[in-house]
Amino acid sequence: MTTWQTGLRPITIAILAMGGEGGGVLADWIVALGERGGYTAQNTSVAGVAQRTGTTVYYVELFPPSADGVPPGGQPEAVLGVFPTPGEVDIVIASELMEAGRAIQRGFSTPDRTLLISSTNRVYAMSEKESLADGRVDEAPLFEALQQGSREHIAADFMEMATRSRSVISASLFGALAGSGALPFSRDDFEATIGAKGKGIDASLAAFGLGFEAATLLLEERSEPSQDAVPVSIGRRPPDPEKEAARAEEDRVSALALSDPLQLVGPSLASQAERVVAEFPEPARVMLLRGCVRTAVFQDTSYCDRYLDRVARIAGLEPDPDGEARLTNEAARHVALWMCYQDTIQVAMQKIRRDRLDRVRTEAKAQPGQLLQVHEYLHPRSEEIADTLPTALGRRLAGSKRVSGWLDRITSHGMVVNTTSAWGYSMLSVMARFRPWRPRSFRFGREQQAIDGWLDLVVETAATDSDLAGEILECQRVLKGYGETHAHGSESFASLMSAARTLAGKDNAAGVLADLRTAAMADEDGTALRSGMAALNGAVTD
């Protein structure tokens, strides 16, 4: 006798997790929990495409033990499924916000049936990381869709809870499942299941407790619906700790910029800080002080003075010095970014920064005294090598196809450098110490000439169209990275500057250039920008 013949059915649970998050352990816990309570339980899994670190759908069915109403002949035979059926899943557990969205998309979570438990943390997909602009998915509509696509939604940063407990997210999600009350088991039953595994029990129980408390709190905050009201989701989008911390830091920096700017730049840049306060609009002060620090770290204090001289050219044409001072702000931002371009010296400096290595240890959850190795995958091309050499030698190398081809063959497979080894760290450290010789390098002269030419166009344009001048400044955003990425950006930048000259004096010139810049950052092969440029040229011809 089967379940459909008796009207009895199993509890269906789908778990969407990525590699290393303990999704299989979570599924095993639920199976063990059910079996301890007399349920017939089954767990299956189907691996998905490795969009980030590999995604797996774990599926659990818990068939209840005998109950009143069982027909003569005894307990029916449990026939369990092996994969979640859209529209027939009672509980969905997602380890990440986008995975919860996929559960909605695939029909696993439905508003008439499903309790959705999701962590609000993000692990960005490759499509988001590869975007030349900010390719991150807007989380607000995603969260709204999760609310509408589930009967109840319990959402919190369960990854942060697991990290805080030095455990994995499966433990805090297990706690959320217990706190939801969706399964007919007590908290003691859940905790006993964790204790029976015998590995990392204390850390898992700590994370479990945090997840349990978070789910319980969300349930307690649910308002009592009226008799005519339709039940709604209880999930809410919690504040993002990182964003809140960033806003608090921004407020702190802004206050210091007004009260004591020297604290932001240090005594070595005291004269530059005084100049910022004396010569530039107050709304641009924070950005200018940051630019001073960035350019000084990139090169030296004289380079910082050069930075301020360049921004001063734009600030002198500021149409709104007592308001937002947008033109000066944009100049302060983008001039600093271009002046601190990515070359081999800068890359070496970034790789061996103490705070970077400390961050890697933190993210890897390395214990004090525990050995950790950091391997860098580098792929220098002949162009980067030539750019680092003295101008005369770099020009000769760049102009020699035979030597460049020979170097490219040597470096074609890239290289791996162990930053935490004596040899690897020393090699990068020596490269970083070439910073004083950077002004003699082949690339340095080219970059300074290009920056000055760009600013000449901004100054010329600002006299008649400050909005267009602001958009010309923002076009620097397409210049990113190094190697092929930078080469593509340089081509796009040249096209945008050509468009800016064409648009000068025309209606909505700033809006058109902004659209072209967006097109330039839409893809790496430049298809969207070429289409936009063709349309612009056609319009000009007509």
Of 55-59, 121-125, 162-166, the poorest mean pLDDT is in: 121-125
3-state secondary structure 7-69: CCCCEEEEEEEECCCCHHHHHHHHHHHHHHCCCEEEEEEEECCCCCCCEEEEEEEEECCCCCC
Give 310 or 535, the one with higher predicted confidence: 310
Summarised one tens digit per residue, pLDDT across range 305-346 is 999 999 999 999 998 888 889 999 999 999 999 999 988 899
Best CA proximity match to 209, nearest among 228, 219, 194: 194
% helix, strand, coil for the chain, step of 5: 60, 10, 35
**pLDDT given at position 230:** 34
Give the three-class secondary structure for 116: strand
Q: Which residue has the higher pLDDT, 178 or 251?
A: 178
* 3-class DSSP string for 526-539: CHHHHHHHHHHHHH
Statement: residue 283 has pLDDT above 70: yes
Which of the listed ranges 53-57, 137-141, 326-330, 402-406 does the model predict with the highest average pLDDT?
A: 326-330
The tokens describing 241, both together, are 């700790």
33-50 mean pLDDT? 82
Q: Full-prediction pTM beyond 0.85?
A: no
In this prediction, residues 188-193 reach a mean pLDDT of 93
Element (DSSP H or E) covering residue 338: helix 326-339
Percent of the chain with pLDDT over 70: 86
Q: For position 70, what pLDDT does the model report?
A: 52
pLDDT of residue 63: 87
- Exposure string for 296-332, b = 16+ CB within 10 A, e = fewer: bebbbeebbbbbbebbebbbebbeebeeebbbbbbbb
Quote the pLDDT of residue 435.
Answer: 92
496, 516 in Cβ contact below 8 A? yes
Measured CA angle at 245 (ends 419, 297), to 5 deg = 45
pLDDT at 126 over 50: yes
Residues 382-426: tens digit of each pLDDT: 888 888 899 999 898 888 888 888 887 887 777 888 998 999 999
Q: Strands of 55-63's sheet, edge to edge?
A: 40-47, 55-63, 11-18, 91-94, 115-119, 152-156
The mean predicted confidence, pLDDT, of the chain is 84
Specify whether the CB–CB gap between 291 and 311 falls below 8 A: yes
pLDDT value of position 96 = 87
Q: What are phi and psi of 18, to 5 degrees?
A: -105, 170
Tell me the average pLDDT across 155-170: 89
pLDDT at 199: 74
Most confident of 156-160, 241-245, 336-340, 417-421: 336-340
User: What is the identity of the amino acid at 66?
Assistant: S
Which domains are seen in the chain, by residue range? 3-238 (3.40.920.10), 240-340 (no CATH), 344-442 (no CATH), 457-542 (no CATH)
Q: Is residue 370 scored above 70 in pLDDT?
A: yes
What distance lies between CA 484 and its chain's CA centroid? 22
What is the band of 47 on the pLDDT scale with cuts at 50, 70, 90?
confident
- Is the Cβ–Cβ distance between 182 and 35 less than 8 Å? no
Q: How far apart are CA 342 and CA 339, in angstroms?
A: 9
3-state DSSP assignment of residue 118: strand
Confidence band for 489, pLDDT divided at 50, 70 and 90: confident
pLDDT at 466 over 80: yes
The pLDDT assigned to 226 comes to 42
Q: Evaluate if residue 97 carries a pLDDT over 50.
A: yes
Which of 122, 58, 51 has the alpha carbon at shortest distance from 89? Answer: 58
Rounded-to-integer distance, Cα 168 and Cα 160, Å? 9
Residue bearing the bigger pLDDT, 173 or 47: 173
Angle at 90 between CA 85 and CA 91, to 5 degrees: 105
What percent of the chain is predicted at pLDDT more than 90? 41
- Give residue 362's pLDDT: 82
pLDDT band at 20 (very low <50, low <70, confident <90, very high): confident
pLDDT band at residue 76, thresholds of 50, 70 and 90? low
Q: Which residues contact 185 (CB under 8 A, 6 or more apart)?
A: 33, 37, 178
Nearest by Cα to 455 from 276, 303, 314, 294? 314
Q: 37, 13, 15: which is closest to 24 by C-alpha?
A: 15
Name the residue among 168, 197, 146 with its Cα closest to residue 95.
168
